[in-house]
Structure 1
Amino acid sequence: MTRLDSAWIAANPAPVHGSGTTKNSRGRVLAIGGAASVPGALRLTGEAALRAGAGKLQIATIASAALLLGVAVPEAGVIALPEEDGEIGDCGDRLTKPLAACDALVVGPGMGEPAAAGRLLAHVLAAVGDDTGIVIDATAIPELKGCRARAEACADRIVITPHHGEMAALTGDSADAIAADPERAALAVAREYGITVVLKADDTVIAAPDGTVLHYIGGGIGLATAGSGDVLAGAVAGLLSRGATPLVAAGWGVWLHGHGGRRVATRRGPIGFLARELPGEFPRLLPQ
């Protein structure tokens, strides 16, 4: 297991964009999720993607929240999706063009019902572009086991970002067993599904299907706060959109998230800062 630290960051640089770069060539992110119970989650995800360097952002969420999110994140385009019982319903062809046009997709933040997340995940995996990076987050993660056939074609472009409970729901292991040996758990899923796994906890383990395992020593107890995972998912998606490989995007996303937390803690204190304060630290940590 390799420590994810400043030496790894220096040896595995994030993409750098030179003269002539446009907002399209910087990377286009599509964030899909949200529910009536958590309508603001995609604000955190979307802002994190932009702060991680993506050039364009579209947010797709339930119709009742779309306009409010568009006002809250004026840099983003919004897509109003059909709503059923407060969750995303049957999208029909509403996502066909956005999925074909994005460079990175993040699906799942803010969703509450597994059945709705499973339907959405199956839909987007069937329609996503051939070169699109994919981040699967939150309630959508356990639903991957029901979408394995569709995921196989794009497995090498998928990053999942589970905490121990979501990992337990995906694997059938207990959360305690995963906590006892997170490296084993992350590596087993990475190899079984052919994907990159970011297993979140006090310390985070990143595993790739080739057997690479990274270990990040946590950014502090303050990161254990509502919305923190939504920010991490957006950061990884933003880096994928800019052309980073899944492992580099995962490593840099975790490092930005953790070091961003440390920087906020120096100003606010070690506990009690908000997830929305994290993305603003990313530009100071990214290469010029």
Structure 2
Amino acid sequence: MQYRSFGRTGWNASEIGFGTWGIGGDAWGNTDDSDGLKALHTAIDEGVNFIDTADVYGDGHSEQLVAQVRKARSEPLFIATKAGRRLNPHTATGYNNVQNLTGFVERSLRNLEVEALDLLQLHCPPSEVYDMPEVFGILDGLVQQGKLRHYGVSVERVDEAMKAIQYPNVKSVQIIFNIFRLKPAEAFFAAAKQQDVAIIVRVPLASGLLTGKFTIDSKFAANDHRNYNRHGESFDQGETFSGVDYETGLQAVEELRTLVPEGMTLAQFALRWILMFPEVSTIIPGAKNPQQATDNDATSNLPPLSEETMRRIQTLYDTRIRAQVHQRW
């Protein structure tokens, strides 16, 4: 496993981390806790030291699973969680409330069984929050109280990321970035580097589209967001298949297959493409079982992609994908 500097935190994070939305049990079909725990242990065995979770993944179940694993391990781990999506209604004014944010943080402290959260991220709040400095003042207060070590944001859109990094104590931005979502690399990456803000890449495989395992006839369970959120019915559409129309994505995947070097799976190819961007601090693919974790982790030691391959991916994006997603996020 290779490691990268995580912004101004002083951490060296594994460039392949572990995203735990999939093992939380509420948005990716049926899950098995035993397999999820084994996947986490396998990832740590292979050098992963960055784990991302959230208080709403399985209503806290994901955080509790992470706590089990952390207690069983001696390796230092960086655990990032998120807060805000428990608000009902999910409004900007809900974030500007000390009691709300403090309550969410204290619940995560209990779930994770720690005295301080390594990294708390606002969980894709409404865009108005980024124009509310008092919200970030509340987070500063939670740092001063010793409940947080660092804080950052998880965003839907590039313009939100650009606003967030203007707050001096925002240490990280989590954003969707993959072969189907290239916009963050245009200006945001350079701005984050200038501010020394860590970049966490989520949805790196476009909800599994970039694994190449799906066909037009693939079926998804009723409790899988790839079934019920294709048009943003439950949360931002960009979280499901990166906002790309499913059939369009399948067609693009067939073209991508021709670019994959020998010795790589399509999923590893998609992850290795992200690692070609040095501004990225860590990628957080999910894994429901140990084999998926191992396949993800192996990407860290694969050779870089050629300039020609990178150019052809850009061309594919420009011709097949850009019109659907670029101006939306």
Query: Above 0.5 in TM-score?
Result: no
User: What is the TM-score normalised by the length of structure 1?
Assistant: 0.38
Higher gyration radius (CA): 2
